[in-house]
Amino acid sequence: MSLSLDFARKGDKKNSNFFEEYLIRLLEERDRIGLTQRIHEIDAIMLTVDPGHSVPYIAELCLMTPYHYLVTLESEKHWTHILRINMQSPDILLREVKDDNIRGIFRSLNEVYPIGNVKPNSRYMGEIFRVTDLHGVTQLQTEREFRFFNQDETRKLELPGNLSISKPSPYTHNITAYMERKSQDTRVYALGMSEIRQDVQEAYQKAKLLQQKLQIDDLINPIDHLATRIYSQNREVAILEWLSLTSYYYWGSYDIKDQNSSTNVTKNVNCPDESRSPAKVFTANNTPYFVNHLDKLSSPTETFVRNYGPRLHHIALSVADGERQNKENIQFVVEQIKDAGREFLLDVIGSKEEGLKQIFSSASEHSSLIIEYVQRFGDFQGFFTKDNVAKLTHAAGVEEELIQLSDNIVSMN
């Protein structure tokens, strides 16, 4: 059997015959031509924020995650801040647009969506994969009809020149990038002038001191999974496209009937440890928005996509199993962060008996991204229970309705 197909299928979601046929054909081909073996773990994730938002967002991330501020790369129109945990987990490349009048392809992906347009430069961009043969991988993907920015386009976009970067996906609006690096070498991003910005350093140090004071600095682990929301009709093709561009395999899909959606999980063939290469999750409505009123169906996922566009919805981090001060670690972490002024959408849900507990933070005002915390108990290997994900999806949908209402009121005034 093909390397990429040698995994037990999870879930209860029924896929189309088209999906099942091309899943096998695409992964068999990917293995046969050597792409699976040459594309390794996620080296970094990239996102952009509007002017003035990077420093407070770094402070937020450095409180709520294990990330540390490393350095800032300055180009003509952007600052790109590098956040790192260690060389075994992905970096974060956080770009800030210097001038609110700067326009470009990534901003245009926001502008046609009513809430996405409120923060026109704020969006998750995509992932950078470590590869062992940048030219060979790019050549093979080009032959498979994927399109990449050329060097001049990459320079104009002010993205690292040592990356090969795909054009944004028509299904997720994300890019996939490749960077050639040996596993033992340090990550280097060829972009702009390097400096340690004093204001960023001060915000970072303050956040880390607070994290230590709250006694949560040793409890929050690296990114566990990345969750993207897409239109219902794009579920299967988005997954197949992602698997074609990466070394991930199809873990399985679950039907969340209460919320009229499905949750679809992919994992890395070459790197089973999610802390090194997070799982990629796709969530989509079961039905398109325009039929939901006929059967009075819930539609939080498709409503999010219609308001923000297809994009990353949340970043999930695992919490160390165990207890602190007679509380399960996830409960302790959440209560401490709440005391520091951060809000959450609901109480911690799940149970030790079910195998895991989870919670969503409120969406960041800087990136619109939610932070999810997950604590697994014992040897539990999954990413959710069906009851948990239904409650999380509902809670996120309620917040997004309130955000939309607030934006409508502001626009009327």
% of the chain with per-residue pLDDT over 90: 83
Mind listing the pLDDT tens digit for each residue in 202-231?
Answer: 999 999 999 999 999 999 999 999 999 999
Task: Check residues 25 and 412 and name the one with the higher pLDDT.
Answer: 25
- Is a pLDDT exceeding 50 seen at residue 412? no
The reported pLDDT for the residue numbered 413 is: 47
Task: Check residues 411 and 34 and name the one with the higher pLDDT.
Answer: 34
- The predicted model gives 317-331 an average pLDDT of 96
Asked if 310 and 229 count as a contact pair (C-beta separation under 8 A), the reply is yes
The reported pLDDT for the residue numbered 410 is: 41
The residue count of the chain comes to 413
Final residue of a domain: which of 211, 229, 256?
211
Look over the chain and give the mean of its residue pLDDT values, rounded to a whole number: 93
The reported pLDDT for the residue numbered 354 is: 85
User: Helix, strand or coil for residue 61?
Assistant: helix
Pair 333, 400 in one domain:
yes
The reported pLDDT for the residue numbered 104 is: 87
Name the CA dihedral angle for 1, 12, 265, 22, rounded to a multiple of 10 degrees. Answer: 50
* Residue 6 lies inside a defined structural domain of this protein: no
Pair 91, 203 in one domain:
yes
Q: Angle 198-213/54-64 helices, nearest 10 degrees? A: 30
Can you give the residue range of the structural domain that contains 217? 213-412
Pair 169, 291 in one domain:
no
Phi, psi for residue 129 in degrees, rounded to 5: -105, 140
* Residue 7 lies inside a defined structural domain of this protein: no
Query: Angle 210-225-144 (CA atoms, 0-180°, nearest 5)?
Result: 135
Q: Out of 214-228, 259-273, 377-391, which region has the weakest mean confidence (pLDDT)?
A: 377-391
> Distance from CA of residue 31 to its chain's centroid?
25
Query: Which pLDDT band, with edges at 50, 70 and 90, does 2 fall under?
Result: low
- Is a pLDDT exceeding 70 seen at residue 406? no
The reported pLDDT for the residue numbered 346 is: 86
Pair 226, 161 in one domain:
no
Final residue of a domain: which of 211, 245, 266?
211
The reported pLDDT for the residue numbered 386 is: 64
The reported pLDDT for the residue numbered 55 is: 98
pTM over 0.75: yes
Mind listing the pLDDT tens digit for each residue in 154-177?
Answer: 999 999 999 999 999 999 999 999
* Residue 22 lies inside a defined structural domain of this protein: no
Query: Angle 223-142-181 (CA atoms, 0-180°, nearest 5)?
Result: 45
- Is a pLDDT exceeding 60 seen at residue 411? no
> Which CATH number characterizes residue 387's domain?
3.10.180.10
Mind listing the pLDDT tens digit for each residue in 82-140?
Answer: 999 999 999 999 999 999 998 889 999 999 999 999 999 999 999 999 999 999 999 99
Q: What distance, in Å, lies between the first and last C-alpha atoms of the chain?
A: 62
Final residue of a domain: which of 186, 211, 236?
211
Mind listing the pLDDT tens digit for each residue in 343-366?
Answer: 998 888 888 888 899 999 999 999
